[in-house]
Amino acid sequence: MTKKHYLSVFFILFYTISIFSQESLEDIFVKRSFSPKRIGDIRFMHLESAYLLLESSGKNGFVWNKYDVSGSPSGQFLSTKDLEAWSGGVLSAIDDYELSDNDQAMLISTQTENIYRHSSKSVFYIVNIKEQKVFPLSLNGKQMYPKFSPTMDKVAFVRDNDLYYMDISTGNEVRVTTDGKHNAIINGRSDWVYEEEFKMTSAYEWSPDGKKIAYLKFDETKVPDFSFIHYNNLYPEVETFKYPKAGQNNASVYCFIYDLKTKKHLNITPTDDQQAYYPKLAWCKDRLLIQYLNRRQNNFRIYALSTDGRQKEIAYNSQSDTYEILPSWYISKEGEVYFTSDKGGFKQIYRIVKAISGFEEQQITTGNFEVKKIYGCNGDWIYYQSNKGKLYETKVYRINKKTNQEELISENNGMNDATFSHDFTNFILDYQSDDTPNQYTLRNNAGEVEAKLEMNDELKKFLDTIHFNKRQYFEIPTANVQLQAYMLYPKDYQPSQKYPLLIYVYGGPGNQEVLNDWGGMREQWFRYLNTLGYMVACIDNRGSGGKGADFQKISYERLGKYETEDQIAAAKYLIEKFHVDSSRIGIFGWSYGGFVALNCLFYGNATFKMGISVAPVTNWKFYDSVYSERFMGMPNENISGYESYNPLDGAKRLEGKLLLIHGTADENVHFQNTMELMKVLNNEGKMYDFMAYPDKNHGISGGRTRMHLFELMTNYIVKNL
């Protein structure tokens, strides 16, 4: 063996030891030694059977290389060197890009500024690849959500709460709306609560012929203000924005169609309900489809409206005794609408088509499993993701809508997701599992592998050298149901010994944490705790997703009750079956999980010795209207539900150690939640520990903040569990 080989072996052994020493938190959260490589810069082309991949070209910046669908390179498409030359050196850096429908132009974003969790604004440039030109979309301030028109001669965008478009041929900027005003009127983009709860950011769509723009207008004038303080200046700044809490006024939302030729705005709002939600809008041939949800969220409809506003039909209508779950949907070029609904007990695919006498509805998939996502369709095949087989895994399928023939097109056990080409002839499969970091393969639509794009082989080899700890999946029987769970054992686990246990919980409606996935940095932290001698378990309580409507919706109007009961019952089961030291059980949760962790500590009759609650909701009246009312109803109609299993009420029962953590600039779960809880704890004479992260939002990240946070929690666990 050469000196070089000796040094290589020494390095591997040293690195293996250091990863699982007390310094390994830095490997997880700072060096990110367990973070897999991603391929987020791939875009399928629209008119060619090819894709673009943005790759480094060394000191010269980046290049967009083109590959055919077999994975073979077919030349350079564009480079940052080209962009610099075409723009006169102005455009030398990019944050993101979108390719136009004709593959001849790009929208490139720079100087991106995040607003909330899903929204941002940037300086955008239009790149005309054929003519080798680069020019700014606008010189009048940063823009949001630009979109090429279908005719490729215009680009619409939002700025300062108004909708605009730019005529590419003339360079003229046209202002579509003029009443946009901060904390008052928003045109073409969503307000905070739509962004957070409906995942809507852009709120406008071009018509297929490029002659009209459909958009939403949000009137926030009656929505109460919420403010928090930024401490990063000599005199702290107060940020105020509109945040509708449970039972308070929402924004009034209106639907319009703007005609570019006549410059007229046609109000086509489907109902007179001032508190209704319109979570999505999309064009379907010559009709505009608008989703409707009443404020109680137990009535969901899809309206189909003509562009002149004269015809309005209800294409779909569903009523629930609890709440309606917004569907995954896809609209085909032929005018068929595919969507998911749990009205049969499990989320399945349905189709609505225009018929002579109105609209017809057909069920496509059936079974006691859930369809998680509809990707789209190509001819007779519909492509989708479901958890058929194992509740804690997802796979990619296709089904023939004529014959009902179903085919599995992802073979690996674990979590499988897909990004399809525009014609659905190919897709990129993103596969991951408990012991396999993300692997990306290019496939045809029958699931056959054409090329391996990124397999994270280096990380996988590293995991082999450290004897990577795998989860054990199992079910916990309770008096009523079986609960999905997993366990991570300490290194050198001995069944004859008793071990301390940390339970990780989220537990929110429809969510799943017990999944056969890679898990990210938090999961590696759990494995680090294993090296310190702790067992770590995770249990999906009643109310969680994946097991059908009855299992999920049992928590309706009673958030906290079943989650708390199930986590306590699970802890007792683990004591009996898994050699857990009953005097050393802790629980940790974040956001909704922080709410459940508090309730377990307060109502658990000393089952838990210690709890860590990060950014918790402590009273559902403090949280936003859409989420709280969906699962709890209106506060004035469910007084007992809002007061029961409420951490503010339960705080007087605190036994054991409690660590509260919150970011002061959390615009989602406000710092107010923790401050109100601290008032109660103080008044009740209860001792606890507390850490605030100044100017940090709900994610508590940036710089070395995550390292600080997890080191804090690790030390607290070691000291108190």
CB–CB of 713/659 below 8 Å?
yes
Tell me the C-alpha distance between 401 and 114, whole Å: 42
Q: What is the pLDDT of residue 20?
A: 44
Q: Domain boundary at 102, 122, 142, which?
A: 142
Nearest to 442 by CA among 422, 421, 427: 427
Instruction: Give the number of other Cβ atoms within 10 Å of residue 420's Cβ.
Output: 19
What CATH number has the domain bearing residue 337? 2.120.10.30
Same domain, 642 and 496: yes
Q: Domain boundary at 122, 142, 162, which?
A: 142
What's the whole-number average pLDDT of the chain? Answer: 94
Same domain, 267 and 415: no
Same domain, 573 and 640: yes
Instruction: Give the number of other Cβ atoms within 10 Å of residue 289's Cβ.
Output: 22
The pLDDT tens digits for 196-206 are 999 999 999 99
Average pLDDT value for residue range 441-458:
97
The pLDDT tens digits for 265-301 are 999 999 999 999 999 999 999 999 999 999 999 999 9
The pLDDT tens digits for 376-390 are 999 999 999 999 999
Assess whether pLDDT exceeds 80 at residue 111. Answer: yes
**How large is the angle between the packed helices 3-19 and 457-465, nearest 10 degrees?**
80
Q: What is the pLDDT of residue 90?
A: 86
Q: What is the pLDDT of residue 596?
A: 98
Same domain, 261 and 361: no
Assess whether pLDDT exceeds 80 at residue 148. Answer: yes
Q: Which residues are 108's β-sheet partners?
A: 97, 125
Tell me the C-alpha distance between 287 and 306, whole Å: 5
Structure tokens at 382: 């519909």
Kindly indicate the confidence band of residue 21, based on its pLDDT and cuts at 50, 70 and 90. Answer: very low
Q: Domain boundary at 119, 142, 165, which?
A: 142
What CATH number has the domain bearing residue 529? 3.40.50.1820
Q: What is the pLDDT of residue 60?
A: 67
Q: Which residue range is the domain that position 543 belongs to?
A: 470-720
Greatest Cα pair distance in the chain? 83
Phi and psi angles of residue 429, each rounded to the nearest 5 degrees, phi first? -95, 125
pTM equals: 0.94
Q: DSSP letter string over 524-589?
A: HHHHHHHHTT-EEEEEE-TT-SSS-HHHHHTTTT-TTHHHHHHHHHHHHHHHHHS-EEEEEEEEEE
User: Residue 571: what residue type?
Assistant: A
Same domain, 151 and 236: yes
Nearest to 42 by CA among 430, 321, 603, 458: 430
Nearest to 148 by CA among 177, 180, 108: 108
Tell me the C-alpha distance between 247 and 184, whole Å: 20
Same domain, 371 and 508: no
Structure tokens at 168: 């590419």
Q: What is the pLDDT of residue 358?
A: 80
Kindly indicate the confidence band of residue 473, based on its pLDDT and cuts at 50, 70 and 90. Answer: very high
Q: Report the percent of the chain where pLDDT is more than 90.
A: 89
Average pLDDT value for residue range 452-459:
96
Tell me the C-alpha distance between 334 and 289, whole Å: 14
Report how many domains make up the chain. 5
Same domain, 386 and 318: no
Q: What is the pLDDT of residue 436?
A: 95
Assess whether pLDDT exceeds 70 at residue 603. Answer: yes
Assess whether pLDDT exceeds 70 at residue 1. Answer: no
40: Cβ contacts below 8 Å, ≥ 6 apart = none
Using DSSP bridges, classify how beta strands 580-590 and 610-614 pair: parallel, antiparallel or unpaired. Answer: parallel
Kindly indicate the confidence band of residue 10, based on its pLDDT and cuts at 50, 70 and 90. Answer: very low
Assess whether pLDDT exceeds 70 at residue 496. Answer: yes
User: Residue 362: what residue type?
Assistant: Q
Nearest to 471 by CA among 414, 387, 402, 510: 414
Q: What is the pLDDT of residue 89?
A: 86
Same domain, 237 and 190: yes
Q: Report the percent of the chain where pLDDT is more than 70.
A: 96
Assess whether pLDDT exceeds 60 at residue 2. Answer: no
Average pLDDT value for residue range 687-694:
98
Same domain, 549 and 456: no
Same domain, 630 and 685: yes
Question: What residue ranges in 273-311 does DSSP mark as E strands?
Answer: 281-284, 287-293, 299-306
Average pLDDT value for residue range 347-371:
91
Structure tokens at 426: 């190919």
Nearest to 688 by CA among 615, 613, 581: 613
Going 510 to 516 to 518 to 523, the CA torsion angle's sign is positive
Same domain, 207 and 274: yes
Assess whether pLDDT exceeds 50 at residue 193. Answer: yes
Assess whether pLDDT exceeds 80 at residue 5. Answer: no
Tally DSSP H helices, then E strands, for the chain: 14, 43
Going 229 to 230 to 234 to 235, the CA torsion angle's sign is negative
Same domain, 352 and 318: no
